[in-house]
Amino acid sequence: MSLQRIDKILSTQNIATRSETKTLAKKGLIKVNGITVRKSDEKFDPEKAVITINGIELEYKRHLYIMMNKPSGVLSASRDKKDKTVIDLLPVNMRREGLFPAGRLDKDTEGFILITDDGELAHRILSPKSHVYKLYEVICDKELTENDACLFSKGITMGEISFLPAEMKLTGKNSALVEICEGKFHQIKKMFQSIGAEVTYLKRLRIGELFLDKSLSLGEYRELENEEINMILSRKHGI
Ligand code: URA
């Protein structure tokens, strides 16, 4: 990785603002590879340097990847004047600059939302070319039939909009699991509208091959492991 100013490294890692870094440096509290850094504009490779602040080693992370179980009533946006967003649910020490939800869930949808500051990964997940499948649990106000599943499997056209073939597996009279590989606006709700049903409950359970961690209650989150990030980009699918 390229060299970066120590004040930039500490601010992007949410450790200290630039002015706080200046003060820390003046007080001799920052060490890099065992040597005290007195100037906040000194440059280092953050992936190689051992940086300590007041004796505590910095665990440098180029990007953050957070799985959240989004509750209903919260927006999948970075900020909003009126409503609470998924970023607002994170503790202050996790709220790094540049974090955003990679993909949208409606305000009333629950489940797996990925929050990251890795724009490249988000682009790969969201690009229709990537064919990252997402699995949803759906409850609706109509009795579902195998014929509905068959219609979904052929792809749906509603006026100007068309949706690629999707898999639906009935799980109860009014409930199903549905897997789609696109992320069009209100996609699941619109697909159900096309079969005369209104969605009354929607939850995202899986992105790629990675399931929402069942131990996360609504509003809870955790960082992803490296292998989990790779699972998100998997093209494997099927319910
Ligand atoms: N489809 C929808 O209609 N809403 C969501 O939140 C996600 C998929």
Q: What is the pLDDT of residues 165-208, one digit of tens each?
A: 999 999 999 999 999 999 999 999 999 999 999 999 999 999 99
Level-2 CATH architecture, domain 4-57: Roll (3.10)
For the chain, percent of residues with pLDDT exceeding 70: 100
Average pLDDT over the chain, rounded to an integer: 95
**How far apart are the CA of 197 and the centre of ligand 1, in A?**
14
| Residue owning the nearest CA to atom 2 of ligand 1 | 186
SS3 122: helix
| Residue owning the nearest CA to atom 4 of ligand 1 | 186
Using one digit for the tens of pLDDT, what is the confidence trace for 56-106? 999 999 999 999 999 999 999 999 999 999 999 999 888 888 999 999 999
17 and 6 Cβ atoms separated by less than 8 Å: no
- Residue 96 has a pLDDT of 87
105 lines ligand 1 (CB under 6 A): yes
**How far apart are the CA of 50 and the centre of ligand 1, in A?**
44
166 lines ligand 1 (CB under 6 A): no
Level-2 CATH architecture, domain 65-232: 2-Layer Sandwich (3.30)
10 lines ligand 1 (CB under 6 A): no
Name residues whose C-beta falls within 8 Å of residue 78's C-beta, 6 or more positions apart in sequence.
85, 87, 99, 100, 101
- Residue 52 has a pLDDT of 97
Measured distance between the N- and C-terminal CA atoms of the chain, rounded to whole angstroms = 40
**How far apart are the CA of 204 and the centre of ligand 1, in A?**
8
- Residue 199 has a pLDDT of 98
**How far apart are the CA of 230 and the centre of ligand 1, in A?**
23
In degrees, rounded to 5, the angle at the alpha carbon of residue 112 between the alpha carbons of residues 108 and 116 is 110
DSSP letters of 56-82? EEP---S--EEEEEEPTT-BSSS--SS
135 lines ligand 1 (CB under 6 A): no
The pLDDT of residue 1 is above 80 = no
202 lines ligand 1 (CB under 6 A): yes
- Residue 65 has a pLDDT of 97
Please determine whether the domains at 4-57 and 65-232 fall in the same fold group of CATH: no
- Residue 180 has a pLDDT of 96
Instruction: Band the pLDDT of 131: cuts 50, 70, 90.
Output: confident
Q: Domain locations in the chain?
A: 4-57, 65-232
Instruction: Band the pLDDT of 129: cuts 50, 70, 90.
Output: confident
Please tell me what DSSP assigns to residue 191. H
Instruction: Band the pLDDT of 33: cuts 50, 70, 90.
Output: very high
